[in-house]
Amino acid sequence: MNEAYFITHNKHKYEEAVEIAKSYKISVEWIDIEYEEIQADDLGDIALASCKKLIRTKKELKNKHFFVEDAGLFIESLNGFPGPYSAYTFQTIGNEGILNLMKSEENKTAYFKSVIAFFANGKINLFVGKTKGVIITEKRGAKGFGFDPIFLPADEELTFAEMSLKTKNLYSHRQKSLREMFTSLTTFENKIVYGE
Ligand code: ITT
């Protein structure tokens, strides 16, 4: 396999995936189509439901290898909020809202999680990536998107928003799930080659 389609509305996510895919010699194409995303407590359930919905409703995807990804920021002292509600939280209270909620919290620990649901040959596979860090007290950096300016990966000096895309791709939750997926694809490809 040398081509996979990433179904997302988010250009930043697509660009991160393209950069990672290069080293696996896989080309990632972007498809931005409307589909209904369920609300659930688990990112895996959301990604899986989105993938199934796309298989059912978008005939043009039937013979393609494609994936969706659901991600979220989980803050320990807020019992995992915003987690699966990250998109809505970002649109409503944004980074400033999170910083306000965190003002009185001593424990700044948080993690980003990414779950990919990948469809190929009639099957869906899930790939997960997680990155630990802390929520800082003021926004830093203008790169990236979403909660990047307030998230400092563990033991690092730069927030995700201060990192270039290439550097974020060394640490992020998304690069972990993507690399797992691409690795499994190349392994699968190798098996076919050896089988012939
Ligand atoms: P999709 O079309 O792929 O769903 P989205 O932007 O809605 O795009 P998610 O639902 O996966 O993406 O992500 C939910 C929110 O979590 C997203 O809007 C961001 O605010 C935040 N988020 C996810 N990944 C992030 C990252 O790498 N850096 C910063 N914020 C992130």
Contacts of 75 (CB under 8 A, 6+ apart): 81, 82, 98, 102, 109, 110, 135
pLDDT at 186: 79
**What residue ranges do the domains of the chain occupy?**
3-186
CA distance 1 to 130: 26
Ligand 1 centre distance from Cα of residue 145 (Å): 8
Mean pLDDT value across the chain = 94
Ligand 1 centre distance from Cα of residue 110 (Å): 15
Q: Has residue 195 got a pLDDT over 70?
A: no
Reply yes or no on whether 70 is catalytic: yes
pTM, rounded to two decimals: 0.95
CA distance 7 to 87: 16
Nearest CA residue ID for atom 21, ligand 1: 146
Ligand 1 centre distance from Cα of residue 139 (Å): 17
Q: Which two tokens stand for residue 69?
A: 């990804």
pLDDT at 191: 46
Mean pLDDT, range 105-128, rounded to an integer: 95
The hierarchical CATH code for the domain 3-186 is 3.90.950.10
CA distances from 99 to 75, 102, 173, 194 (A): 11, 5, 21, 53
- Ligand 1, residue 173: give the atom nearest the CA: 27
Yes or no: say if 137 and 93 are a contact pair by the CB < 8 Å rule.
no
Pairing state between β 109-120 and 66-75: antiparallel
pLDDT at 136: 98
Yes or no: say if 156 and 104 are a contact pair by the CB < 8 Å rule.
no
Mean pLDDT, range 168-184, rounded to an integer: 97
Q: Which two tokens stand for residue 171?
A: 């640490």
